[in-house]
Amino acid sequence: MKFPKKYFNLIYSLLMSVIMGLMMAAVLTAILTGISGDFVMRWLKAFIQVWPVAFPILLLLAPFVKKLTTDLTES
């Protein structure tokens, strides 16, 4: 299933925020509380708390970061 190009920034931000949120929540949960029997539940709880913040931030900043990256790299 493909989406129209006009949804690119929305889909990019959604996917990136889920991936980054899961990875950062896992790392911070492991560092702060260790890896034990209930790690997955603590990890998912942390993700649920951070994702609503990560998604709008990425949604707002993704176009700026893409433009900045374009400006900093050769065509």
What pLDDT is attached to residue 64? Answer: 93
3 state SS of 70 = helix
What pLDDT is attached to residue 67? Answer: 93
Burial class (CB in 10 A: 0-12, 13-18, 19+), 46: buried
What pLDDT is attached to residue 43? Answer: 97
Domain spans of the chain? 16-68
State how far the alpha carbon of 58 is from the alpha carbons of 25, 27, 36, 43, 54, in Å: 16, 19, 31, 21, 6
Query: Which tokens is 35 given?
Result: 């890896």
Average pLDDT over residues 31-51: 96
Stated pTM of the model:
0.84
What percent of the chain clears pLDDT 90, i.e. is strictly above it? 96
Return d(Cα 28, Cα 37) in angstroms, integer: 16
* 75 pLDDT above the threshold of 90: no
